[in-house]
């Protein structure tokens, strides 16, 4: 496997299991989850070539809350956050009771911030530096993948590559955000090329992109994004 374990088994004062034992996880409300994710630090030096756009707390909390409360895909499961950046989705997964959670990203600076966020929120999450394209896990060792992959605006086809790998390694479900403009393409490749059993758009969202890069002219723009659930 082509990865480097980055800050092995970062453990906060309260592990997610202890929280579950105390009944906290099961009482986690959507608003509480969103509030906690709001305190997370995001990319200090965002890298355009890696398409580093953070998922805001509103969308991140709804993605993971829906995955657990509607489909039972998080609590007690092995969950992976592909392209975890500063850890938002993975941390949400840990707060919703994932048994074991891993975050994969190619960028060491983002993983450093993710590690600080993991400590701040006091959850368990292993952070692994690797290129998701080269991830070769033996079989479906992960139950659920949650991800906001690069959309392919700078790295052509990377959104499809993330989806392909996710559908290979997950046994239960893959949750992913993709531009609404790519809906038909994503559905076709998931079902035809990556052998997904099903591909369903759960909802259409407005993804806020703040002014982060030099070429951004406006203070903020939002883009239409689909929240997908795929069954491998």
Ligand X SMILES: C[S@@+](CC[C@H](N)C(=O)[O-])C[C@H]1O[C@@H](n2cnc3c(N)ncnc32)[C@H](O)[C@@H]1O
Chain residues that interact with ligand X, rule: CB under 6 A: 50-55, 83-85, 88-89, 104-107, 110, 131-133, 148, 150, 158
Q: Which is nearer to ligand X, 56 or 97 (CB)?
A: 56
Q: Which is nearer to ligand X, 25 or 91 (CB)?
A: 91
Q: Distance (Å, rounded) from C-alpha 8 to C-alpha 6? A: 6
Q: Distance (Å, rounded) from C-alpha 134 to C-alpha 116? A: 26
Q: Which is nearer to ligand X, 83 or 93 (CB)?
A: 83
- By the 8 A CB rule, do 79 and 143 touch? yes
Q: Which is nearer to ligand X, 92 or 199 (CB)?
A: 92
Cα–Cα separations (whole angstroms), residue 38 to 43, 109, 113, 181 = 14, 20, 15, 28
What secondary structure letter does DSSP report for 132? G
| Residues counted in the chain | 232
E strand map for the chain: 4-10, 78-82, 100-105, 125-129, 142-147, 170-179, 198-210, 220-231
| Three-state secondary-structure class, residue 59 | helix
Q: Which is nearer to ligand X, 106 or 191 (CB)?
A: 106
Question: Residue 79 Cβ, how far from ligand X at the closest point, in Å?
Answer: 13
- By the 8 A CB rule, do 199 and 166 touch? no
Question: Residue 42 Cβ, how far from ligand X at the closest point, in Å?
Answer: 7
Question: Residue 107 Cβ, how far from ligand X at the closest point, in Å?
Answer: 4
Question: Residue 16 Cβ, how far from ligand X at the closest point, in Å?
Answer: 19
Question: Residue 36 Cβ, how far from ligand X at the closest point, in Å?
Answer: 14
Question: Residue 83 Cβ, how far from ligand X at the closest point, in Å?
Answer: 3
Q: Which is nearer to ligand X, 95 or 132 (CB)?
A: 132
């Amino acid at each position: 496997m082509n990865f480097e374990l980055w800050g092995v088994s970062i453990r906060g004062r309260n592990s997610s299991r202890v929280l579950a034992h105390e009944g906290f996880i099961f009482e986690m409300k959507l608003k509480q989850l969103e509030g906690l994710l709001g305190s997370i630090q995001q990319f200090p030096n965002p890298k355009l070539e890696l398409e580093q756009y953070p998922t805001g707390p509103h969308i991140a909390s709804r993605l993971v809350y829906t995955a657990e409360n509607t489909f039972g895909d998080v609590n007690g499961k092995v969950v992976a956050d592909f392209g975890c950046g500063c850890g938002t989705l993975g941390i949400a997964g840990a707060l919703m009771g994932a048994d074991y959670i891993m975050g994969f990203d190619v960028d060491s600076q983002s993983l450093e911030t993710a590690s600080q966020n993991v400590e701040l929120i006091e959850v368990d999450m292993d952070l692994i530096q690797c290129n998701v394209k080269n991830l070769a896990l033996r079989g479906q060792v992960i139950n659920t993948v949650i991800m906001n992959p690069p959309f392919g605006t700078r790295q052509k086809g990377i959104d499809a590559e993330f989806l392909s790998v996710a559908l290979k390694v997950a046994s239960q479900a893959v949750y992913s955000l993709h531009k609404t403009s790519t809906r038909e393409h994503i559905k076709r490749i998931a079902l035809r090329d990556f052998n997904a059993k099903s591909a369903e758009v759960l909802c259409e969202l407005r993804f806020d992109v703040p002014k982060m890069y030099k070429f951004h002219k406006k203070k903020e723009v939002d883009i239409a994004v689909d929240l997908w659930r795929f069954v491998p």
